[in-house]
């Protein structure tokens, strides 16, 4: 079975056929950095990280572009409220997003363009649209003419132009030909940042930014455009309109992840239920939070509760427990061992992570039985299958990311703990239990839990 994904634009499951054989190009709408991220923001990053990992495992050379919207009405509003420059707000929150993506094990994007670094490309796109009769300048602003594209506008969100509300993206609607026309460029206003254009100084509109960045790095036609389901309209609808009206093929597949809610309400800062990432990783470990976000199907909504979060953490710990115990018996894991066919089929079927994790848990159950029987051959095979599946999902507990101190310090921590455990082993051998206990207590104070097993002492970061 080859990869099939649900395409929002056709509202159907489609076989993935890339623009270029052997290569896959993905554009993900990243952060608008007016505030630090909560788990609703980072869910998208985790979902598309799994997609990227699976495509790479399937043999594709993946180019993954995740943008940063670093100029926007909301950023300017926060800047005014805090009496700090807009770029201070953007930089502070972009760093918070980067930390959150890294903390939850998301691979760095191939390229991560900022909107403010691509104004020349935006000007070029506007010039093309104006020349083709799909955009017009008015009072320092530039607008996309929705009626010029009316036969196709609304196809992604399955709406008709006559039923759409006004764009509501300007203070003076009289400068528009139609209230549904949306701003490509916003003319200069007091106290706002500006860039020069042929139509006067101003700043870009949100929709224009993504079209310019996507086509710059992935080409005029690319494979997949992703983002949250809340972006379908107007953002993604407007991206399609302005890009295709300019003559670009743009994205061939549209993938949208579901929302994360508390009760019946979408998670937001205004509700006071933001659940910021630094707070969440005090409740559970980062890898357990990643499991919680990756386990549901990406298109489903998640109704957050702490009970569900802790259940997910416990489920991950069962997997981790087998991997840890098996690794004490099997020291060399076959990284090239084939994945179970049911696991591959699940991910090929629109990235079916619930079914894929069901396969992981079944293999873990078999592995625990093999451990209890002392069947080392079976344990070796099942451990390799488990770790290879977890690697695809970004959840392998033995990867440097999750070993305790990050990829740079994990070997150092391993070495230091190994020395301490050897000293403790020597103390126990000479029956100096007070010294052995003192070493264990010192490790515990440093956040390291030691457990004695038939195969020797085992350590992990304290939960």
Write the DSSP string, 30-62: --B-SS--BHHHHHHHHHHHHHHHHHHHTT-EE
In this predicted structure, the answer to whether residue 323 has a pLDDT above a threshold of 90 is yes
pLDDT the model gives residue 424:
80
pLDDT the model gives residue 120:
97
* Residue 39 · residue 286 · CB < 8 Å: no
In this predicted structure, the answer to whether residue 405 has a pLDDT above a threshold of 50 is no
Q: Any idea of the CA torsion for 43, 101, 236, 145, to the nearest 10 degrees?
A: 150
| 286-294 and 306-329 helices, crossing angle to 10° | 110
Q: What is the pLDDT of residues 195-239, one digit of tens each?
A: 999 999 999 999 999 999 999 999 999 999 999 999 999 999 999
What's the rounded Cα separation, in Å, for the pair 399 and 188?
Answer: 50
pLDDT the model gives residue 267:
63
- Half-sphere exposure for 170 (CA within 13 Å, toward CB): 28
Q: Looking at per-residue confidence, does 463 or 128 come out higher?
A: 128
Q: Looking at per-residue confidence, does 172 or 121 come out higher?
A: 121
- Half-sphere exposure for 141 (CA within 13 Å, toward CB): 21
Q: What pTM was computed for the model?
A: 0.89
Q: What is the pLDDT of residues 238-258, one digit of tens each?
A: 999 999 999 999 999 999 999
**Cis omega (within 30 of 0) on the bond before 234?**
yes
User: What would the mean pLDDT of 156-162 be, rounded to a whole number?
Assistant: 93
E strand or H helix at 257: strand 250-257
- Average pLDDT of the residues of the chain: 92
Q: What is the pLDDT of residues 169-188, one digit of tens each?
A: 888 888 999 999 999 999 99
| 306-329 and 376-393 helices, crossing angle to 10° | 140
Residues 6+ apart with CB under 8 A from 457: 421, 424, 425, 450, 451
- 226 phi and psi angles, rounded to 5 deg: -125, 165
The mean-pLDDT minimum among 26-35, 205-214, 404-413, 446-455 falls in 404-413
Residue 461: which pLDDT band, with cuts at 50, 70 and 90?
Answer: low
E strand or H helix at 341: helix 341-348
pLDDT the model gives residue 14:
98
pLDDT the model gives residue 401:
87
pLDDT the model gives residue 407:
43
All structural domains of the chain, each given as residue ranges with its CATH number in brackets, are 4-257 (3.40.50.620), 265-401 (1.10.730.10), 409-461 (no CATH)
The mean-pLDDT minimum among 84-93, 268-277, 301-310 falls in 268-277
* Residue 256 · residue 8 · CB < 8 Å: yes
In this predicted structure, the answer to whether residue 270 has a pLDDT above a threshold of 60 is no
Reported for 187-193, long-range contacts at CB under 8 A and 24+ positions apart, including other chains, are 187/139, 187/140, 187/141, 188/140, 191/80, 192/76, 192/86, 193/71, 193/76, 193/86, 193/87
Q: Looking at per-residue confidence, does 10 or 453 come out higher?
A: 10
Q: How many CB atoms lie within 10 A of CB 388?
A: 20
Beta bridge partners of 453: 456
Percent of the chain with pLDDT over 90: 78
The mean-pLDDT minimum among 90-99, 130-139, 379-388, 424-433 falls in 424-433
What's the rounded Cα separation, in Å, for the pair 78 and 132?
Answer: 37
pLDDT the model gives residue 415:
74
Q: What is the pLDDT of residues 21-44, one digit of tens each?
A: 999 999 999 999 999 999 999 999
Structure tokens that stand for 238 in this block: 């407007």
User: What would the mean pLDDT of 453-463 be, rounded to a whole number?
Assistant: 66
pLDDT the model gives residue 288:
98
Beta bridge partners of 23: 61
User: What would the mean pLDDT of 359-366 be, rounded to a whole number?
Assistant: 98
In this predicted structure, the answer to whether residue 447 has a pLDDT above a threshold of 80 is no
User: What would the mean pLDDT of 317-342 be, rounded to a whole number?
Assistant: 93
Q: Looking at per-residue confidence, does 454 or 82 come out higher?
A: 82
pLDDT the model gives residue 429:
80
DSSP 8-state symbol, 400: G
Q: Looking at per-residue confidence, does 449 or 167 come out higher?
A: 167
In this predicted structure, the answer to whether residue 377 has a pLDDT above a threshold of 50 is yes
389-419 in b/e form (b: 16+ CB < 10 A) is bbbbbbbbbbbebbbbeeeeebeebeeebee
């Amino acid at each position: 079975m080859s990869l099939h994904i649900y395409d929002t634009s056709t509202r159907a499951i489609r076989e993935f056929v890339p623009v270029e054989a052997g290569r896959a190009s993905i554009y993900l709408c990243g952060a608008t950095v007016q505030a630090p991220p909560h788990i609703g923001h980072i869910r998208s990053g985790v979902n598309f990280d799994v997609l990227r990992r699976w495509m790479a495992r399937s043999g594709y050379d993946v180019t993954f572009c995740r943008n940063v919207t670093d100029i926007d009405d909301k950023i300017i509003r926060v800047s005014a409220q805090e009496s700090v420059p807009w770029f201070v707000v953007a930089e502070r929150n972009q760093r918070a997003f980067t930390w959150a993506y890294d903390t939850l094990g998301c691979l760095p994007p191939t390229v991560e363009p900022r909107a403010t670094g691509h104004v020349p490309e935006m000007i070029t796109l506007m010039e093309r649209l104006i020349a083709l009769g799909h955009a017009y300048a008015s009072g320092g602003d530039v607008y996309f003419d929705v009626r010029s594209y009316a036969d196709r506008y609304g196809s992604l969100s399955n709406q008709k132009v006559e039923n759409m509300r006004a764009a509501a993206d300007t203070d003076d609607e009289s400068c528009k030909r139609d209230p549904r026309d949306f701003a490509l460029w916003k003319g200069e206003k007091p106290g706002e940042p500006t860039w020069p254009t042929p139509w006067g100084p101003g700043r870009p509109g949100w929709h224009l930014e993504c079209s310019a960045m996507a086509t710059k790095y992935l080409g005029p036609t690319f494979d997949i455009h992703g983002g949250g389901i809340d972006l379908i309209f107007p953002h993604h609808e407007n991206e399609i309109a302005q890009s295709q009206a300019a003559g670009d093929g743009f994205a061939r597949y549209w993938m949208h992840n579901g929302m994360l809610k508390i009760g019946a309400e979408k998670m937001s800062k205004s509700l006071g239920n933001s659940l910021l990432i630094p707070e969440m990783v005090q409740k559970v470990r980062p890898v357990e939070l990643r499991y919680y976000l990756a386990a549901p199907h990406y298109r489903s909504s998640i109704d957050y509760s702490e009970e569900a979060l802790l259940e997910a953490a416990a489920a991950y710990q069962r997997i981790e427990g087998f991997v840890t115990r098996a690794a004490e018996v099997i020291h060399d894991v076959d990284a090239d061992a084939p994945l179970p066919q049911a696991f591959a089929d699940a991910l090929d079927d629109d990235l079916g992570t619930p079914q894929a994790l069901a396969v992981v848990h079944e293999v873990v159950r078999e592995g625990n039985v093999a451990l209890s029987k002392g069947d080392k051959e079976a344990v070796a095979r099942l451990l390799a299958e488990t770790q290879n599946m977890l690697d695809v999902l970004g959840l392998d507990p033995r990867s440097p990311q999750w070993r305790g101190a990050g990829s740079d310090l994990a070997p150092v921590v391993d070495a230091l703990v190994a020395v301490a455990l050897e000293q403790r082993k020597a103390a126990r051998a000479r029956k100096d239990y007070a010294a052995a206990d003192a070493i264990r207590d010192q490790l515990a104070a440093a956040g390291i839990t030691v457990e004695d097993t038939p195969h020797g002492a085992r350590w992990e970061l304290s939960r």
